[in-house]
Structure 1
Amino acid sequence: MGRSRNLWLSVTAAVLSAVLVYGLYMLQRQQLEKQETVAVVVPKRFVAAGERLENGDLEWVRMPLAAYTPDMVTELESAAGKETAVPLGKGEAILDWKINEHLLQPRSGESTFQIPKEYIRSISNGIRAGDKVLIYASGEGGESQRLFEEGVVVASVKSSANVEVDSLEQSYLLSMAEGNKEGMYVARRDANAMIEYLNLNLREEQWLAIDRLCKGGTVKLVVAYSPESFGQLGADAALGEREDE
């Protein structure tokens, strides 16, 4: 009886010892993995360009530390609620230049202003939302001048029916987000209506300068398409030319 009891105690002790050793091994392995890997945020599914990311679309995966780069997103809140500038593959590490705040939202220090129709002399027909445009002042008896050195972003261009002017076959904004320059060109040539209302993202001093010049009625604006905008919001990001907001 005593011999059987001793044997049982020996077996139990051996099993407990093995479990303890295995537990310590797994703990050390997990700590080592955490030291040699980093958790990055990836999509759970394919995400097309221009889509808004939700929490449910995202998850973490661990990757080797040697493959990690500083532009990889490691926090869910850094990606959730943002739009994709380019398509994202399932399980692909999200890079910060591939996502952004809503493309047409004004940046820090800017607001979106609708330019009164009576302030405008002419608008280039090829302008689309997301473009950068150059603003010129043209008046009777005075010399025409360029108002701002830099181009300003078009928030929207609306028809008289308050519908965004775009191509019915090829969305300009989607082509821009995908970096599809051919699609952008096609969309720019094809339009569903004439431009009636123009909304620009301007700093306060820019709007005040426009208002001072144009409210008397003798000076009007000429809005010209700028080649800066060709792929500006998608391709520039891919090149890493990001602006601090």
Structure 2
Amino acid sequence: MSTSRPARWGAAVLLAGITASACGAEPASLAAAPGSTTSSSTPSGEPTPAREALRWDEEHLTGSDGTFTWDVTVPRATGPAVAGEVNRRVTASADHVVEAAAATVLDGDPPRLLTGEGTVTTDDGRTVQVLLEFVDSTEGTAHPTTSVTTVVLDVEREEPVVLSDVFADPRAAFEELAPVVEEVADAAGEPVTDAEGLAPQEVNWAAWQSGEDGITFWFQDQQLGGHGTRQYLVPWERVEHLLTPGARELLAPV
């Protein structure tokens, strides 16, 4: 069952990009595994007890502020200790989007509704990854604005995986990945017309998820030129050599 409560304000968010799927495009294929137990070996070679699996439910973060109303459904984890950190990070990511939208509302604005839906894309015992997709609609406008935030959490460390953990040299990685994204975008019939959106700055690459086929990056509405936000999958063979050893162990297929 889900519950309802106002979103918490002022929460710090780590690893949240404000982007979404391209206009009408299907989301990129991401690894989606249910919670599972994992085991490892002690120095003596004896297996350690299997880690308890996370269990998933959902919760509604709802509220209103003047003409602005929000209703965001987020996944809610229960089970081992890491569940608390997962929930805190996911809620903080949703709160960040709500807070940013509310800050742009002016007195006398028409009614505005922000809805969101969270999906657990990966829960493989190494990472928990959550994708949050939003639709921001203002009465009387031609179309809504869609956006995405992502959360990637290292289960063992109970800490977020940030881009400086993922890439040995983030700036060099972004410079190398930019033409790859342009190539993938061209193949999809969606050429990049604003290359500044791929500049080697972390904010441009902050929304990402790893999966069986590679790493998917999301880009904000207008970020790469034209209306509509986009997402592109960079295959492992084009990105794995840029990863830190720890990121390969944590993210690459096993």
> What is the TM-score normalised by the length of structure 1?
0.23
Q: Using CA pairs under 8 Å that are at least 6 residues apart, name the structure with larger relative contact order, 1 or 2.
A: 2
Please tell me whether Structure 1 or Structure 2 has the larger radius of gyration of its CA atoms. 1
The structure where strand makes up a greater share of residues is: 2
Higher helix share: 1
